[in-house]
Amino acid sequence: MEYFQTSVISNICISEDIFVMVVGRNGAPASAGQFFMLRATGSALTLLRPISIFKAEADTLHFMYRIIGKGTRELSTLRAGDTVSLLGALGTGYPIDKMSGKVALVGGGLGIPPLCETAKELTAKGVQVDVYLGYRDDLFAVEEFEPHSRDIFVSTEKGEEGYRGFVTDLLKPEGYDAVFTCGPEIMMRKVAAMCAATKVPCWCSMEHRMACGIGACLGCSVRTAEGMKRVCKDGPVFPSNIIFPNK
Amino acid sequence: MNLGTTLLGIHFKNPIIAASGTFGFGDEYNELYDVSCLGGISSKGLTLHPKDGNEGIRVYETPSGMMNSVGLQNPGVEAFIQEGIAKMRRFDTVLIANMGGHSMEDYVTGAEMLSKADIDILELNISCPNVKSGGMAFGLKAEVAQEVVSAVRNVCSKPLMVKLSPNAENIVEMALACESAGADALSLVNTFQAMAIDVHQRKPVFNNVYAGLSGAAIRPIALRMVHSVCKNVHVPVVGMGGIYTAEDILSFIMAGATAVQIGTINFTNPLAGKELVTALEALCQREGIQDINEIRGII
């Protein structure tokens, strides 16, 4: 974990309200499923914002985010050459090292970006990766998964591209050694339930408002089967039977 | 150039203390910098029994500050004594145990246990706005506060600092009541009770409806309260409320505070503790202050 100032290399709108920001990595550690806290240097805002790692390259970090409030709106105004403060990488990511065989990645909406780095790291380890991506309407980042996956399944709620319906309709967990999911809680609960029914281990990545990002303030605690857990430190990735014990 | 100060007979290497609830037990921030550089650390707010804290949103950005409704999630006094103290003792800094309560009995039992443990100061929290029937309930009316402070004083052999709520009916009367009940020092202010509404969902942001406001937004009011309390009590005062810079620290000390606590700024800048120590030293040098203690209460 490092706290450092770095330069924005690019910050591009890829869809109506979705941006990809690329910044200098400055040698910071980063692995799949972890996140950074970001804040424009000199910003008047009080809190840094947690954003997942979309891609960690040798010299750059890529963050894909949607404008949902003041913090992300301010990030979207940054331009190449602006300075941004980063704290990270933070949290417990996906258990890449424990994986072998075949793993399914199931993402919904802005839960999709962190699965890109995850697909890359799994593939590099020799794990066979299938990707299930659920969108409301417009697709994004699908091509980013192509080098790091065997099959890509796409669904949209309106059905203009890919399967019409929910991405969980496409998933058959029994064909996999593990399932990693990230996205809306309702989707992850469904994935967790399907995995529980077929006895396939499943990990879910949670999203939460945070203040410190390092486990000190308890602003992001969630109730789990093992008591209160900090999304920022104990998570954001949790085994599904811990985070959704009733499903 | 001396930043060292003595509070309750204990030497602080500088007047900067990490505020309760923003700093855990110090170990997370110690991964970012050596927290032994701080004058002291006030522990996460403890209660006699473990607490899970509040459901729903717990932290929320506001103009020049933030609101929180963590609800005193903590492992309880016993677990703190068994594990938390050892964590904090790894750091060469003054160890302050912050404790709130839900009832007179909880306060007294918890204080009795902590009094026998290896802590330097007990900071009694009668000011948490985020738990029902506790904390702040004791910190609004001077006569209720007096009762709980007296009861704790009777069982507490450690230096006793009482943390006041700015929501008290009258902050000076509250301070005087705590002093007369045996408080060795006072710390103020805790967060201001505040509110936010999510207009899209047509619901309060926080499940408890009200939450505690902190950060720069409260600083001028906190400074006024610290000043007026310092003018009226004889015990030392630890000031806090939106302290972000070395200038803010000097303001609170000029207003009469012996030391200060920093809270919200730890979130905005995770290295704030370390950087403020350096910045305070540089500021004092620029201002020709040889000893931080010479400018205390000059206003």
Q: Domain containing A182 — which CATH number?
A: 3.40.50.80
pLDDT tens for B175-197 read 999 999 999 999 999 999 999 99
Residue numbers of the domain that contains B254: 5-295
How many CA atoms does the CB half-sphere of B286 hold within 13 Å? 9
Tell me the nearest-neighbour CA distance from B147 into chain A, angstroms.
Answer: 30
pLDDT tens for B210-267 read 999 999 999 999 999 999 999 999 999 999 999 999 999 999 999 999 999 999 999 9
Give me the residues of B, 255-274, that contact A with CB < 8 A: 264, 266-271
The reply to whether A68 touches chain B by the CB within 8 Å rule is no
Nearest CB partner across the interface for B52, out of A1, A69, A228: A228
Of the candidates B2, B170, B251, B213, the residue with the CA atom closest to the CA atom of residue B239: B251
Same domain? For A101 and A202 the reply is yes
How does DSSP assign B137-192, residue by residue?
GGTSSHHHHHHHHHHHHHH--S-EEEEPPTTSS-HHHHHHHHHHTT-SEEEE--PE
Structure tokens at B242: 């939106």
3-state secondary structure of A61: strand
Tell me the nearest-neighbour CA distance from A214 into chain B, angstroms.
Answer: 6
Separation of alpha carbons A168 and A1, rounded Å: 35
Residue B19 per-residue DSSP state: P
Tell me the nearest-neighbour CA distance from A70 into chain B, angstroms.
Answer: 9
∠ CA B242-A48-B30, rounded to 5°: 75
How many C-beta neighbours within 10 Å does residue B118 have?
A: 13
Which residues of chain A neighbour B65 with C-beta distances below 8 Å?
Answer: 46
Structure tokens at A219: 């602003």
> How many structural domains compose chain B?
1
Parallel, antiparallel, or unpaired for β A178-182 and A163-164?
unpaired
The alpha-carbon radius of gyration of chain A (Å, integer) is 17
Separation of alpha carbons B277 and B138, rounded Å: 34
pLDDT tens for B12-50 read 999 999 999 999 999 999 999 999 999 999 999 999 999
Q: What is the pLDDT of residue A159?
A: 77
Cβ pair A148, A118 in contact under 8 A:
no
Of the candidates B152, B147, B131, the residue with the CA atom closest to the CA atom of residue B71: B131
Separation of alpha carbons A194 and B39, rounded Å: 53
pTM value is 0.96
A95's CB contacts (< 8 A; 6+ apart) are A203, A237
Separation of alpha carbons B85 and B67, rounded Å: 28
The reply to whether A81 touches chain B by the CB within 8 Å rule is no
The CA distances from residue B146 to A17, B46, B98, B223, in Å, are: 55, 20, 18, 24
Which residues of chain B neighbour A39 with C-beta distances below 8 Å?
Answer: 268
Which residues of chain A neighbour B216 with C-beta distances below 8 Å?
Answer: 46
Same domain? For A61 and A115 the reply is no
> How many structural domains compose chain A?
2
Q: How confident is the model at residue B136 (pLDDT cuts 50, 70, 90)?
A: low
Q: Which of A66, A90, A114 finishes a domain?
A: A90
Of the candidates A137, A132, A240, A113, the residue with the CA atom closest to the CA atom of residue A185: A240
pLDDT tens for B278-292 read 999 999 999 999 999
Which residues of chain A neighbour B60 with C-beta distances below 8 Å?
Answer: 209
Which residues of chain A neighbour B268 with C-beta distances below 8 Å?
Answer: 39, 45-48
Separation of alpha carbons B131 and B116, rounded Å: 26
Contact assignment for A219 to B22 by CB distance below 8 Å: no
Same domain? For A81 and A151 the reply is no
Which residues of chain B neighbour A85 with C-beta distances below 8 Å?
Answer: 269
Mean pLDDT over B199-203 rounds to 96
Separation of alpha carbons B190 and A69, rounded Å: 27
Q: Domain containing B80 — which CATH number?
A: 3.20.20.70
The reply to whether A58 touches chain B by the CB within 8 Å rule is no
Which residues of chain B neighbour A214 with C-beta distances below 8 Å?
Answer: 28-29, 31-32, 270
Same domain? For A27 and A43 the reply is yes
Q: Which of A61, A90, A119 finishes a domain?
A: A90
Same domain? For A113 and A164 the reply is yes
Same domain? For A101 and A195 the reply is yes
Structure tokens at B181: 């009940």
Tell me the nearest-neighbour CA distance from A43 into chain B, angstroms.
Answer: 10
Q: What is the pLDDT of residue A245?
A: 87
Nearest CB partner across the interface for A211, out of B31, B59, B271: B59
Same domain? For A185 and A119 the reply is yes
Same domain? For A157 and A213 the reply is yes
Tell me the nearest-neighbour CA distance from A79 into chain B, angstroms.
Answer: 21
Same domain? For A109 and A160 the reply is yes
The reply to whether B28 touches chain A by the CB within 8 Å rule is yes
Burial class (CB in 10 A: 0-12, 13-18, 19+), A42: exposed
Residue to substitute from B23, B38, B57, B58, interface A, most A β-carbons within 10 A: B58
The reply to whether A229 touches chain B by the CB within 8 Å rule is no
Tokens 């004083």 label which residue? Answer: B153
How many C-beta neighbours within 10 Å does residue B279 have?
A: 15
Same domain? For A85 and A173 the reply is no
Tokens 């000043």 label which residue? Answer: B227
Burial class (CB in 10 A: 0-12, 13-18, 19+), A65: buried
Residue to substitute from A83, A218, A224, interface B, most B β-carbons within 10 A: A218
Q: Which of A90, A122, A152 finishes a domain?
A: A90
b vs e for B42-69, b when ≥16 Cβ sit within 10 Å of the residue's Cβ? bbbbbbbebbebbeebbbbbbebbbbbb
The CA distances from residue B63 to A142, B56, B222, B264, in Å, are: 38, 21, 17, 13
CB contacts < 8 A, A to B, total 91
Tell me the nearest-neighbour CA distance from B73 into chain A, angstroms.
Answer: 7
Contact assignment for B28 to A214 by CB distance below 8 Å: yes
Separation of alpha carbons A47 and B265, rounded Å: 9
b vs e for A157-175, b when ≥16 Cβ sit within 10 Å of the residue's Cβ? eeeeebeeebbbebbebee
How many CA atoms does the CB half-sphere of A199 hold within 13 Å? 0
Separation of alpha carbons A30 and A93, rounded Å: 9
Phi, psi of A138 (to 5 degrees): -70, 140
Q: What is the pLDDT of residue A49?
A: 98
Same domain? For A48 and A68 the reply is yes
The reply to whether B52 touches chain A by the CB within 8 Å rule is yes
Which residues of chain A neighbour B24 with C-beta distances below 8 Å?
Answer: 215-218
Give the DSSP H or E segment for B30.
helix B27-30
The reply to whether A87 touches chain B by the CB within 8 Å rule is yes
Report which of residues B135 and B124 the model is more confident about: B124
Structure tokens at A51: 């954003």
**Enzyme catalytic residues of B:** 128
pLDDT, one tens digit for every residue, chain A (247 residues): 999 999 999 999 999 899 999 999 999 999 999 999 999 999 999 999 999 999 999 999 999 999 999 999 999 999 999 999 999 999 999 999 999 999 999 999 999 999 999 999 999 999 999 999 999 999 999 999 999 999 999 999 987 889 999 999 999 999 999 999 999 999 999 999 999 999 999 999 999 999 999 999 999 999 999 999 999 999 999 999 999 986 4
Q: How confident is the model at residue B72 (pLDDT cuts 50, 70, 90)?
A: very high
Q: Could you report the predicted ipTM of this complex, rounded to two decimals?
A: 0.95
Separation of alpha carbons A243 and A185, rounded Å: 11
Residue numbers of the domain that contains A236: 96-243
Bridge partner residues of A65 (DSSP): A19
Q: What is the pLDDT of residue A160?
A: 81
Q: Report the chain B residue with the minimal C-alpha distance to residue A215.
A: B28
The reply to whether B150 touches chain A by the CB within 8 Å rule is no
Same domain? For A37 and A134 the reply is no
3-state secondary structure of A121: helix
Cβ pair A209, A46 in contact under 8 A:
no
Nearest CB partner across the interface for A211, out of B32, B267, B269: B267
Q: What is the pLDDT of residue A247?
A: 45
